[in-house]
Amino acid sequence: MNPFQSLHEYEEFVYTLPNHYPSIQSSTLVVARRGAKVADLEGELTFEHGVRLVIHEQFTFYAGPITLRRYSYAVWRGDERLYWYDPQPHPDNPVLASTHPHHKHVPPDIKHNRIPAPA
């Protein structure tokens, strides 16, 4: 269930993340409206040891909860992408059926090695 009932609630959550999670060293997250009912979230959260979470989201905010339309979450250490999540459908892969279309890309062969996304 989505806890964010409005764009304002989501913006408040995003912009106060470092206040609630001391492990976040810095944030470049920005919510940008792309229309009357569409917005994007772009940026990075930086953690210790050079670990970064790169976030791309697009969502709608009609009356009621916001709805995530697209996303990509990638975890990096320095120049190495450790893993990432996305909702690109892979209907030919039965291993991913339990969380279709959401999945995680992991080494080795990170681009093609996919596992179900954790709940």
Asked whether residue 119 carries a pLDDT value surpassing 70, the answer given is no
Question: What's the mean pLDDT in 102-112?
Answer: 92
**24, 18 Cβ separation under 8 angstroms:** yes
Residue 27: band (very low, low, confident or very high) from pLDDT cuts 50, 70, 90: very high
Please report, for the chain, the start and end positions of each structural domain, with discontinuous segments joined by +: 1-79, 87-119
Question: What's the mean pLDDT in 73-81?
Answer: 96
Torsion of CA 95, 85, 39, 11, to 10 degrees: 120
Average pLDDT of the chain to the nearest whole number: 92
pLDDT of residue 115: 92
Least confident of 12-16, 43-47, 58-62: 58-62
C-alpha 57, offset from chain centre: 6
**93, 69 Cβ separation under 8 angstroms:** no
Residue 101: band (very low, low, confident or very high) from pLDDT cuts 50, 70, 90: confident
Q: Which residues contact 30 (CB under 8 A, 6 or more apart)?
A: 41, 42, 43
Residue 92: band (very low, low, confident or very high) from pLDDT cuts 50, 70, 90: confident
Give the domain 1-79 fold: Nuclear Transport Factor 2; Chain: A, (3.10.450)
pTM: predicted TM-score of the whole model, two decimal places: 0.89
Asked whether residue 63 carries a pLDDT value surpassing 80, the answer given is no
Asked whether residue 106 carries a pLDDT value surpassing 90, the answer given is yes
